[in-house]
A = this chain, B = another copy of it.
């Protein structure tokens, strides 16, 4: 709901003030507030898992460098693509989103490496498809 009642508004701040000034949507505001807490909890879990993931892929990068392995293991990449799509199907996620997630972590591993190097730091070993 908004002061602009012609349906053209592009933005609504959904909070207690909105619920108080528009009591007819108070039930929706309450449910949205509840669902947002779930979303926030999911995000906290994902961010924590991503922290562990990047720590783990960094370790793999170090081991690969020590053994003389190339950063890329395309067989591993194919395995991950297929596996993530299968899991997505099982858990009810659009498989395209699972693939985008995989691309996201690969891209971010590279970007992070570059950011550290650009800042004059030691980026460590670059690893992709860990």
Question: How many chain A residues have a CB neighbour from B under 8 Å?
Answer: 71
Given A11-B70, A42-B56, A75-B13, decide whether A32 and B80 contact each other with a Cβ distance below 8 A: no
Determine how close the nearest CB of chain B comes to the CB of A27; give it in whole angstroms. 8
Does residue A45 face the partner (Cβ distance < 8 Å to B)? yes
Determine how close the nearest CB of chain B comes to the CB of A14; give it in whole angstroms. 5
* Per-residue interface assignment for chain A, residues 87 to 104, with 1 indicating a CB less than 8 Å from any chain B CB and 0 otherwise: 110011110111011101
Determine how close the nearest CB of chain B comes to the CB of A76; give it in whole angstroms. 7
Distance of A1 Cα from B108 Cα, bound (Å)? 26
Chain A, interface SS category: helix
Determine how close the nearest CB of chain B comes to the CB of A130; give it in whole angstroms. 6
**Contact (Cβ within 8 A) A1 B69:** yes
Could you say which of B7, B49, B94 contacts A42, with CB atoms under 8 Å apart?
B49
Q: Which residues of B contact A94 (CB under 8 A)?
A: 54, 112, 115
Determine how close the nearest CB of chain B comes to the CB of A4; give it in whole angstroms. 9
Does residue A117 face the partner (Cβ distance < 8 Å to B)? no
Closest 3 CB pairs of A and B: A28-B67, A51-B93, A25-B67
**Contact (Cβ within 8 A) B43 A53:** yes
Chain B residue nearest to A85 in the complex (CB): B47
